[in-house]
Chains A and B, each alone.
Chain A
Amino acid sequence: MGYRILIVDDSEVVRKVVRKSISMSGLSVAEIFEAGNGREALELLRKEWVDIVLADLNMPEMNGVELIDQMSKDSLLVSIPVIIVSSEHSEQRIEELRKRGIRAYIKKPFRPEKFRDVVSEVLGTMGEEVASEKP
């Protein structure tokens, strides 16, 4: 049985790039869901179980930080690992997000192999240490 993955990004282009990276990663995937912002993601998460959320930060209506905060208040969603995939490169922001519970951070632009390594590490170590993006 494969993983169920939710991609959250307001850019359809990025959702397709991430979807393509997942398909190239060799991960066993059962289903990929997409949402255009945090609000759509929460609506979907209340209907569908997913193994991991890959979310952008800067989105209209509900951004990535608000999505993480909402998930952390929901007993059914709090255990789902979140990886942020963002153009923002600030180490200060990444550290703040780690304190909010994200499992890893992937900076855009990313190479497919880096994406694969980080996602595989998080999926392979659920419940263990927070994954780090390799330099």
Chain B
Amino acid sequence: MKNLDSDVMTATVLRVLEEAAFVFAESVEETEAPDFADSIVVTDLSFAGPGTDTARGRLILAANTDWTQELAANMMGTDPDDPDIQGKGPSSLGELLNMIGGVLMGDIFGPVATSLGIPRIRTLDASEFASLSREDSSRVILATDEGHRIELLSVLEEGL
């Protein structure tokens, strides 16, 4: 079993962003990272490892609300102005986290069955997100090639 550390999280989120949404990004330090916009979509997903006495916690993914509309367009292979995808940005971020969670569980726990919840989605402002992110156990900050900030946090309740 691997640890849920920032290296594993970074590799996974970069891979899923590229495969699911053709978004290219890189890991950056806090001092080099672009700021979040005023409105941020935050999605979180509970996870548990195999068995009853196991590691459990939450993954949290955050991105600018405006950027999630581009994410939705990329995932669905259409234009951000497509009327069919208006308002789908937040749920696209939730689905992206679902995919990240699935890949991470496989990387960490191997072939055994694990458990993932259903993504919860909220819109927060930057200060609300800053207070939420103080809980994190590991944190990854990414900048997309177009300069948008994305954060992936893990909050461990037991193990790992």
Name the CB-closest residue of B to A11.
B95
Within 8 Å of chain B (Cβ to Cβ): is A14? yes
Q: Mark B70-88, 1 if CB is under 8 A from A, else 0.
A: 0010011110000011001
Among residues 99 to 126 in chain B, which have CB atoms less than 8 Å away from a CB atom of chain A? 99, 101-103, 105-106, 109, 111-114, 116-118
Within 8 Å of chain A (Cβ to Cβ): is B98? yes
Name the CB-closest residue of A to B94.
A11
Q: How far is the CA of A16 from the CA of B114 in the complex (A)?
A: 27
**Interfacial chain A residues near B16, Cβ < 8 Å:** 109
Among residues 94 to 131 in chain A, which have CB atoms less than 8 Å away from a CB atom of chain B? 96, 107-111
Partner of A87, one of B78, B84, B88, B101: B101
Name the CB-closest residue of B to A88.
B102
**Interfacial chain A residues near B19, Cβ < 8 Å:** 109-111
Within 8 Å of chain B (Cβ to Cβ): is A13? yes
By the criterion CB–CB under 8 Å, are B102 and A13 in contact? no
By the criterion CB–CB under 8 Å, are A13 and B91 in contact? yes
- Identify 23 residue pairs between A and B in the complex whose beta-carbon atoms are under 8 Å apart, listed by A's number: A11-B91, A12-B91, A13-B91, A13-B92, A13-B95, A16-B84, A16-B88, A17-B76, A59-B118, A87-B103, A88-B105, A88-B114, A89-B103, A90-B105, A90-B106, A90-B109, A90-B114, A92-B113, A96-B113, A108-B20, A108-B102, A109-B19, A111-B19
Within 8 Å of chain B (Cβ to Cβ): is A10? yes
With known contacts A58-B118, A108-B98, A109-B99, A20–B76 Cβ distance under 8 A: yes
Kindly list 5 other residue pairs between chains A and B, CB separation below 8 angstroms, not including A86-B102, A87-B102: A12-B88, A13-B75, A17-B76, A24-B77, A87-B101
Q: How far is the CA of A17 from the CA of B76 in the complex (A)?
A: 5
By size class, the interface of chain A is 20 to 34
B residues neighboring A (CB under 8 Å)? 16, 19-20, 72, 75-78, 84-85, 88, 91-92, 94-95, 98-99, 101-103, 105-106, 109, 111-114, 116-118
Q: How far is the CA of A20 from the CA of B91 in the complex (A)?
A: 17
By the criterion CB–CB under 8 Å, are A60 and B118 in contact? yes
**Interfacial chain B residues near A24, Cβ < 8 Å:** 77
**Interfacial chain A residues near B98, Cβ < 8 Å:** 11, 58, 87, 108
**Interfacial chain A residues near B94, Cβ < 8 Å:** 11
Taking the nearest CB of chain B, how far is it from the CB of A3, in angstroms? 21
Within 8 Å of chain B (Cβ to Cβ): is A91? yes
